Chain A
Amino acid sequence: MDPLAAIRETFFQECEEQLAELESGLLAMESGDQDPETLNAVFRAVHSIKGGAGAFQLEALIRFAHVFETAMDEMRSGRLAATDPVLKTMLRAADVLADLVRKAHGGDDTEHPLAAGLAEELKALSGAAGADDEGGEEDWGDFEFQPMAVAMDGAPEAEGPAGFVVSFKPRADLYAKANEAALLLRELTRLGPAEVELDAHDVPPLADLDPEAAYLSWRVTMTGETDEASIREVFEFVDGDCELDVSPLGGVQSDAEGAADAGFDLSALLAQAQADAPPPIAVAPDEPMPELTPEPAPAPVSAPVVALNPTPAPAAPIAANETPAEAQAAGGPRKTEAGAGATIRVDLDRVDRLIDLVGELVINQAVLAQRVMEAGLARASAVAMGLDELEQLTREIQDSVMAIRAQPVKSVFQRMPRLVREVGAMVGKPVRLVTEGEGTEVDKTVIERLADPLTHMIRNAIDHGLESPEKRAAAGKPAEGVVKLAAFHRSGRIVIEVSDDGGGINRERVKGIAIEKGLISAEAQLSDEEIDNLIFMPGFSTAAEVSDISGRGVGMDVVRRSIQALGGRITITSRPGKGSTFTMSLPLTLAVLDGMVVSAHGQTLVAPITAIVETLQPKAEDVHSLGGHARVIAIRGGFVPLIDVGMALGYRRDPLEATQGVALLIEGEGGSRAALLVDAIQGQRQVVIKSLEANYRQVPGVAAATILGDGRVALILDIDTIVTVSRGDMRKAS
């Protein structure tokens, strides 16, 4: 990859992160988050995307991001209130921005069909689309973007005040990152005439002074021809490490003037600050502040400011109150920033290679342990004890390495709010998505393969689960339906629940449809739970009319199959009038599997535990022949096919006498049951999954391979295929 393409790739990777940040920030604001840091983070996200897009000349993206950013800046400066409708528009704009980014990633930097309309809405919000832009509106429909650019350029100047008051309070981090307040102030003075005023009244007595802390703050009155954006740009690199407030020169002007007259030798102090870095340390013990005595009395430095300011009293307490609050508020985001700084991007192949190697280590360790046992060494011998330690260490390494691949489910959860908005709008049901446990971690592969089933289930929940607003009103429920997405860990697996507060499953109708479609017989006596689970049957779809949203011919059976393919299970619980909950339980990783080690005709095989319902010893009177090699076994009054694994895999030609073996009752695809006959069960074990395809090819009836403690390869059964294949064989035989 040439360097530019690599940078471009990094840009798009970062875009994805920014988009995620943008959406989660907006959602947090929607649910009442007032933290200015959240708004700043959201703004930064759009700003960075715009900046990067500029570097790659992605025009459509830049244009949209620019309008978006402007609207957000209005919000940041407090001119636009973060009301619900505004945030809804912003969220939709975030969706469009995401689309534009993805399009641009695919090399298609053209307009988005919704971009023009949304840009117009955003402009309306930011108030930038004033009367001067009326003429441009028709052009917008014809994807002519010239007028917009003009409007945007004009906007800040049009409403830009004659000057600004910049209040700037560095935090200790700013100095820790080797930034220099004096340089920033000097930069600011380059923008035009500026008066810089130092506020040193936070400086504690010398005895209490923390040399690494930041105590000074500045207030700069800018009177020249400049705009807020350029002022903020000066502070771009210290964003988050300082408290910065840029407000138009207006009501606060008198303050500033008063401060300027305070008789404090600001320029001298500034010169001092510029000369000696870092200021808090260098300035403090110096001459201009002889008042830094152990007495906690109000330092004369701040005293003149207080005395001479026309309105000092309100200003000071507000600043004082805000400071700890802001510092606290900033504490959270700052921590995450620090966290983000401590991560590295690693090529997935490298991680997978490491995981493979650790898998080999685990196997090797097991082999070694078995050899030592075979050699007849005592349990307490030094070798055996060393091996025990090795085993513990290996396990720990394996867990840590698996943790590298583990990711929070957030990455898939955060795609859902958009889906909910779109589907909700399409079916005309107001929906609120509540997510819980986004930080729950699971293997990356599992996450990737969760997206489709989750999408489908959420569509279903909105389309079929929630009632129409009228019905909800009639039932005394709030008009807005709630779909909840929750994730948590339970006994070594991850559980994901999708629930709605809709009407629950209409059991009468479900049963009716199942009978109508011939899925069950009309006389069948089914428990409520069994009826609920009918929706997972292939070919079942409850929607009376096939809708655009979820009735695409793929039903819940597809969801169930994809969950099963991940080694998971899905169940539903439903309460009439209260709603339904789908519960998925999935393995934390696809690299290891809980297996039942069995033997068939001298071969050691592994059956995935998730598929096994129970094991039983067949009795002669329960096994019946249906002619040929086809047999069934009676289990609690019903008959299920008895499949000889040894024969199904071609290890032997003649069936094993059923009473000589053990039957595993399994539940396969679509809930169909079968009993697998094996010679014996050796035990239950967690095994490392190894691909057969890597060096060979797919083998029917075999899902993968693993390596057991004796160092030999054992095959992992693909139960569904074995059941289907032997069903075919039976048909041929009969």
Chain B
Amino acid sequence: MNQVLSQGGQNQAGGMKELISFRIGAQEFCVDIMAIREIRGWTAATALPQSPSFVKGVINLRGAVLPIVDLASRLGFESTEASDRNVIIVAQIGEQVVGLLVDAVSDILTVTDDVIQPTPDVASETAKSFIRGLIAMDGRMISLIGLDRVLPDMELEAA
């Protein structure tokens, strides 16, 4: 289980978790709210040479250089053509702070651990490495994403 989640779990009594849900295309995802620092609008990123296609570049977050990961591209969907309508979720992953480019933030969910169902065994490696579980809510399916593998460095370490 990812570290961020377990940390969040400790802070909330009775196995209750708060998750932030967002959209990428038609799909809904969520991450633990404890990992989220802020949500901000899209600003043009400075491209980084020699970087994976899912790294959109870096932006200035109040003086810090923040890498932007296109979560759609990272999860294996078509990469996002970012515009003013897009949103950047600023997340803390370990010691690093990363911006996640998504289409829109939709909701804050409060769930108990038992609501989170294990990911069914599917062929996609990408799904396996990022999706920590599924939540069924009002007839929608929301995938819980673990953030620890989002940055390319961590992918190298895991390999």
Contacts and interface: CB of A to CB of B under 8 A. Distances in A.
Interface in B95-137: 96-98
Interface string B43-55: 1111111110001
A699 B64 CA distance: 17
Given A649-B49, A651-B49, A694-B96, A363 B67 contact: no
> Chain A CB within 10 Å — which of B51, B58, B59 has the most?
B58
Contact of A695 (B43, B44, B51, B65): B65
A238 to B, nearest CB: 50
B14 interface: no
Interface string B18-50: 000000000000000000000000011111111
A401 to B, nearest CB: 14
B47 A697 contact: no
A603 interface: yes
A303 B49 CA distance: 91
Given A699-B50, A713-B46, A363 B66 contact: no
Given A713-B58, A713-B59, A696 B67 contact: yes
Interface string A475-496: 0000000000000000000000
B16 interface: no
B153 interface: yes
Contact of B48 (A356, A357, A691, A715): A715
Given A697-B152, A713-B58, A363 B96 contact: no
B151 interface: yes
Contacts, number: 82
Given A692-B58, A713-B58, A705 B49 contact: no
A359 interface: yes
B50 A694 contact: no
B140 interface: no
Interface string A345-370: 00000000000110110011000000
Contacts of A711: 43, 60
B63 A356 contact: yes
Nearest to A714: B46
Interface residues of A, number: 29
Interface string A625-654: 000000000000000000000000111000
B85 interface: no
A147 B124 CA distance: 78
A690 interface: yes
A701 interface: yes
Q: Which bucket holds chain B's interface residue count?
A: 20 to 34
A698 to B, nearest CB: 10
Nearest to A691: B65
A712 interface: yes
Nearest to B154: A697
A53 interface: no
Given A363-B60, A707-B60, A713-B58, A695 B67 contact: yes
Question: Which among B51, B98, B151 has the greatest number of chain A C-beta atoms within 10 A?
Answer: B51
Contacts of A715: 46, 48-49
B49 A695 contact: no
Given A694-B96, A712-B44, A712-B60, A700 B49 contact: yes
A702 interface: yes
Contact of A364 (B47, B63, B151): B63
Contacts of A700: 49-50
B62 A360 contact: yes
Interface in B5-24: none
B60 A713 contact: yes
B36 to A, nearest CB: 15
A649 to B, nearest CB: 4
A356 B60 CA distance: 13
Considering residues A357, A363, A690, A712, which has the most beta carbons from chain B within 10 angstroms of its beta carbon? A712
A364 B61 CA distance: 11
Contacts of B97: 695
Contacts of B49: 649-651, 699-702, 715
Contacts of B58: 692, 696, 705, 713
A516 B135 CA distance: 74
A359 B153 CA distance: 27
A709 to B, nearest CB: 11
Contact of A694 (B47, B55, B57, B65): B65
Contact of A701 (B44, B46, B50, B65): B50
Given A695-B96, A699-B48, A705-B58, A690 B152 contact: no
A357 B51 CA distance: 28
A649 B58 CA distance: 15
B63 A360 contact: yes
Interface string B136-159: 000000000000000111000000
Contacts of B60: 363, 707, 711-713
A713 B56 CA distance: 13
Nearest to B97: A695
Nearest to A705: B65
User: Which interface residue of B49, B55, B67, B97 has the most chain A CB atoms within 10 A?
Assistant: B49
Contacts of B62: 360, 364
Given A651-B47, A712-B44, A713-B46, A696 B63 contact: no
B47 A692 contact: no
B147 to A, nearest CB: 13
Q: 10 closest pairs, A vs B, by CB? A: A360-B63, A649-B49, A696-B67, A713-B46, A705-B65, A707-B60, A695-B96, A713-B58, A650-B49, A690-B65
Interface of B: 43-51, 55, 57-60, 62-67, 96-98, 151-153
20 contacts: A604-B46, A649-B49, A690-B63, A694-B65, A695-B65, A695-B96, A695-B97, A696-B65, A696-B96, A697-B151, A697-B153, A699-B48, A699-B51, A702-B48, A702-B49, A712-B59, A713-B45, A713-B58, A714-B46, A715-B46
Given A705-B46, A712-B44, 20 more contacts: A356-B63, A359-B63, A360-B63, A360-B64, A651-B47, A690-B65, A695-B66, A695-B67, A696-B67, A697-B152, A699-B50, A699-B51, A702-B49, A707-B60, A707-B63, A711-B60, A712-B60, A713-B45, A713-B46, A713-B65
